[in-house]
Amino acid sequence: MPDTALLKKKLLHIAATGSVSQFTPEQLHSHYQELNQFLALHKDTLDSIELFNLYELEFYSCILTNHDIEAKAVIDLLLDQFQSNSKSQRIKLLQSIYYEAIGDGKQATQLLTQDPDELSLSRRLVTFSRSDGSDKYIKNLCYYLDLQPSDLSAWAELGNEYKKIGKYQDAIYCLKEILLHEPLAYPVFYKVGLYHYYLFLQELAKPKTRLHDLIQLLTQARDNFLVSVEINDKYDKSWVGLYILANHEFNQDDKFKKKTEKLKSLVQKKVTELHIDISSIIE
Amino acid sequence: MLFYAIGILLLTHAGYSAFEHHKLASHTIHSALPLDIIVETIVATVIIVFGSITSIKNSPALTLDNEVVTMDSQYLKPIRATDASQLDQIVGVSEYDRFDNRIEFVDVIAKRREYAEWIKEQE
């Protein structure tokens, strides 16, 4: 059993970053049990902000692990506590997710459309069009971002949608919007580099592409990977990106070989230092 | 903890000695506080300050797999961005992960289906 203070820190970190949405079923299963046990034993030792953040996390854990009765109990508890603030968008969002999960889409839509000024709810409403196909979803995300251009999660979501359909240039534009607000977000720099690389591969496959454009794309991919490792020099994903760039057959041409030699030796040194198993990644 | 204990002990001793000296001096001739009491007080204060500075340590963190990890620097939090992001890297959860996680956009139906299938496989 890990130390209580460390466990609390970990759970609050998960709650703040929303990592639970990316957990594998196995991770979700153990996380659900761990959180329930922690709250049962230590909820009295938490301050109110920590407690309600963990209740919110518990709601997501219950919903994603099909524990609907427990999820409803968490919502009821939050409603009891914040009855005076019945307009809370945060609670309405949880309620709508609950209705969506149990298949009551009508009730969920009704909750989300009560007030068009409640933008957090409008954002959730946009996700309902995901089932109508990428184009419709992207259109709705763009409409939402016109109303709320500083919503970084929505830019990230839009970027991801563009990536799925291979529109890397648009995806890069979305990620650059995030970087305007978060100039130290090294994972975003990594993604910008990666999408430039994908774009390079896309262009390379086309029969008529100017060499200058290809070089530009590779340079931008390299620069973004380098900014990422400049902020966090132990970020292995960016080092792998640089390794792949430096060893790409395009760079083995005599014209570019000299220029990439320095990068190649630097990347090789760092890959060895960080014990990154390149062969397994490339396979 | 040891520094705190020694420092408080010395400070208490110096305080008691000063009290004794004051009591004695009030019955006889008034004299200044002896040098050894002053030195003892200064030494005790230095020990307590040193103890409190060395007690400020970076706390460890838990990874998602409940593994305890510590930072390279034992006492102070790193100032350079490249070092400050080191703990995120070790723990496996970075503050910028919210752009990947986007819990507000989570597809609950798909995640629940995936979980239900996994449970079925386990049975």
Residue A110 and residue A2 in one domain: yes
Residue A248 and residue A213 in one domain: yes
Mean pLDDT of chain A, nearest integer: 90
* Rounded Cα distance, B15 and A19, in Å: 55
Give whole-number Cα distances, B37 to A8, A172, B7, in Å.
46, 71, 14
Which residues of chain B form beta strands (DSSP E)?
61-62, 68-69
Q: Is B96 on the interface with A (CB under 8 A)?
A: yes
Q: Which of residues A57, A87, A114 is at a domain's end?
A: A114
Q: What is the CA radius of gyration of chain A?
A: 23
Quick one: average pLDDT of A203-228?
Answer: 89
Domain count, chain A: 3
Residue B72 and residue B115 in one domain: yes
Domain span at residue B32? 2-54
Residue B68 and residue B114 in one domain: yes
The angle at the Cα of A79, spanning A77 to A80, to the nearest 5 degrees, equals: 65
Residue A105 and residue A141 in one domain: no
The amino acid present at A140, given as its one-letter code, is: N
pLDDT of residue A109: 92
Q: Is B98 on the interface with A (CB under 8 A)?
A: yes
Residue B20 and residue B40 in one domain: yes
Residue B69 and residue B36 in one domain: no
CA A80 to chain B, closest CA, distance in angstroms equals 23
pLDDT of residue A145: 95
Residue B45 and residue B66 in one domain: no
Residue B26 and residue B68 in one domain: no
Residue A21 and residue A39 in one domain: yes
Both tokens of residue B121?
């496989």
Q: Which residues on chain A are in Cβ contact (under 8 Å) with B66?
A: 2, 7, 10
pLDDT of residue A280: 65
CATH number, domain with residue A90: 1.25.40
Domain span at residue A213? 185-283
Residue-wise pLDDT tens digits, A189-204 = 999 999 999 999 999 8
Nearest to B112 among A2, A64, A178 (CB): A64
| A182 contacts B107? CB cut-off 8 A | no
Residue-wise pLDDT tens digits, A85-128 = 667 888 999 999 999 999 998 999 998 998 888 888 999 999 99
In chain B, the percentage of residues whose pLDDT exceeds 70 is 100
Report residue A1's pLDDT band, with 50, 70 and 90 as the boundaries: low
Residue A154 and residue A193 in one domain: no
| A153 contacts B98? CB cut-off 8 A | yes
- Give the SS3 label for residue B85: coil
Q: Which of residues A89, A114, A139 is at a domain's end?
A: A114
Residue A167 and residue A194 in one domain: no
Residue B32 and residue B17 in one domain: yes
Residues in chain B: 123
The amino acid present at A268, given as its one-letter code, is: Q
In chain A, the percentage of residues whose pLDDT exceeds 70 is 96
Residue B82 and residue B40 in one domain: no
Residue A219 and residue A178 in one domain: no
Report residue B62's pLDDT band, with 50, 70 and 90 as the boundaries: confident
Residue-wise pLDDT tens digits, B2-47 = 899 999 999 999 999 999 998 888 877 777 889 999 999 999 999 9
Residue A260 and residue A218 in one domain: yes
CA B54 to chain A, closest CA, distance in angstroms equals 21
Quick one: average pLDDT of A147-160?
Answer: 95
* Rounded Cα distance, A21 and A64, in Å: 8
Residue B15 and residue B41 in one domain: yes
Residue A105 and residue A178 in one domain: no
Sign (positive or negative) of CA dihedral A141, A146, A148, A154: positive
Nearest to A217 by CA among A168, A260, A253: A168
Residue B44 and residue B72 in one domain: no
| B85 contacts A186? CB cut-off 8 A | yes
Quick one: average pLDDT of B64-73?
Answer: 83
Q: Which residues on chain B are in Cβ contact (under 8 Å) with A100?
A: 108-109
Nearest to B43 by CA among B10, B5, B21: B10
CB count within 10 Å of CB A46 equals 18
Q: Which of residues A81, A114, A147 is at a domain's end?
A: A114
Nearest to A64 by CA among B113, B5, B58, B62: B113
Domain count, chain B: 2
Q: Which residue has the higher pLDDT, A247 or A186?
A: A186
Q: Which residues on chain B are in Cβ contact (under 8 Å) with A14?
A: 64, 93
A2-6, A66-70, A165-169, B73-77: segment of lowest average pLDDT: B73-77
| A187 contacts B96? CB cut-off 8 A | yes
Query: Is the model's pLDDT at B76 over the cut of 80?
Result: no
- Nearest C-alpha in A relative to B82: A232
Quick one: average pLDDT of A28-42?
Answer: 94
Both tokens of residue B67?
């593994």
Q: Which residue has the higher pLDDT, B123 or A67?
A: A67
| B104 contacts A120? CB cut-off 8 A | yes
Q: Is B79 on the interface with A (CB under 8 A)?
A: no
Residue B11 and residue B32 in one domain: yes
Helix axes B35-54, B2-27, angle to 10 degrees: 160
pLDDT of residue B48: 96
